[in-house]
Structure 1
Amino acid sequence: MLKMNALPDVPRWAVLAAHAVPLVTLPSGLWRIALVAGLPVAPPDGEMSVLGALYVLSLTAVSEALALLTLGLVRPWGDVVPRWIPLLGGRRVRPLAAVVPALLGATALTGIGVWFFCAPYVTPHHVTWQGTPAQDALLAVCYLPLLAWPPLLTAVTIAYYRRRTDRHRADSRAFAGV
């Protein structure tokens, strides 16, 4: 059985959802890597510049890194900063320090998703995709899983907030002798 190293008070569904986030971002990242490698995943658009390739690879690395941060909402390092991190190591993570960026990220991802699907219909000079049916299908298969990222992140963030604030209240009551 897969051991996920989550905290004992994290709901199993939240652990599974947090682990799903990096997986839903992976296909689009692999598609972008294939694009940079010159594989025929997109219509020929001339040769990609070095800066263009670096941008596409950076986008892939950053998106996967951000997706992996979702694991912090169900792992110990989301509650206490690991000791090896200078200046902050060993300190408790304030719940809002994780919740606010996560919810802002989920909101931004939702906006990007809406823009991606609506832009061709509302912009007068939109770029049209001239791919083959196979390229269109591959693009859809690789990018549609990204639509799950915002709701998964939101659900895991809410579970994190509830868990952290309920525990804080319980610790405060125990300390006060209630």
Structure 2
Amino acid sequence: MTTQVTPTPAHAAVLSTPPPPRWAVWAAHAVPLIALPSTLWRLAMTVGVPVGYGEEVLRTDYGLPGSGYLILPLISLVQEGVALLTLGLVRDWGLVAPRWLPVIGGKPVRTWAAAGVALVGALAMTAITLSQLLVWDTVDQDNLTGVHRSIMGWLYAPLLLWGPLLAAVAVSYLRRRRQS
């Protein structure tokens, strides 16, 4: 005699949702990778790698030495942490909250809670990165020049892809959840 296990709502959410398309998985994995170069730039500044700023700019604008030793790594950790959340849109923990989370652990993730936050984040990242691109010629003109300015630009440029990639993955998540 076999016993039939009735799936919980959390199990039903995982079992009934189709897998994400391959492109969405790749796009979700790309987001933390495109955030990484600017994170490394900030961390390099923190540990004293010469990035082209003079001591006065490092002290007044970035708090180095001083509070910048805490703030710059914290910004980097938050940036990478938020970027890694994109993976939830293509993994089971985007369908059922991990058990270790207080209050919501083990419960199904509400579709619009995840997708709504992702879409707002995508819109915000797109607006922020595009606005920064528009003022790039005026930012740090006197403080950062030549090769250092070019390196910084190339390290921050991938962030322009964050918003559109996140939006595409969020739309894919919405479509998959509607199919279940």
Quick check: 15-24 or 34-43, which moved more? Answer: 34-43
Code of the aligned partner of 1:52: G
Code of the aligned partner of 2:68: G
> What TM-score comes out, normalization by structure 2 length?
0.81
Which structure 2 residues correspond to residues 1-178 of structure 1 after superposition, within 5 A? 9-46=19-56, 47=59, 48-119=64-135, 127-167=140-180
Code of the aligned partner of 1:84: W
- CA–CA distance in 1 between the matches of 2:136 and 2:28? 32
Q: Structure 1 stretches (4+) deviating beyond 6 angstroms? A: none
Identity of aligned residues (%): 46
Aligned-pair distance for 1:151?
A: 0.7
- Contact map agreement 2:125 2:163 (CA 8 A) in 1: yes
Code of the aligned partner of 1:162: R
- CA–CA distance in 1 between the matches of 2:33 and 2:136? 27
- Contact map agreement 1:83 1:90 (CA 8 A) in 2: yes
Residues 51 and 162 from structure 1, CA distance in 2 versus in 1: closer, same or farther, beyond 3 angstroms?
A: same
Structure 1: gaps spanning 5 or more residues: 1-6, 168-178
Structure 2: gaps spanning 5 or more residues: 1-16
Residues 129 and 144 from structure 1, CA distance in 2 versus in 1: closer, same or farther, beyond 3 angstroms?
A: farther
Quick check: 135-144 or 40-49, which moved more? Answer: 40-49
User: Which residue number in structure 1 is paired with residue 7 of structure 2?
Assistant: none
Aligned-pair distance for 1:52?
A: 2.4
> What TM-score comes out, normalization by structure 1 length?
0.81
CA RMSD of aligned residues (A): 1.9
- Contact map agreement 2:118 2:166 (CA 8 A) in 1: yes
- CA–CA distance in 2 between the matches of 1:11 and 1:49? 46
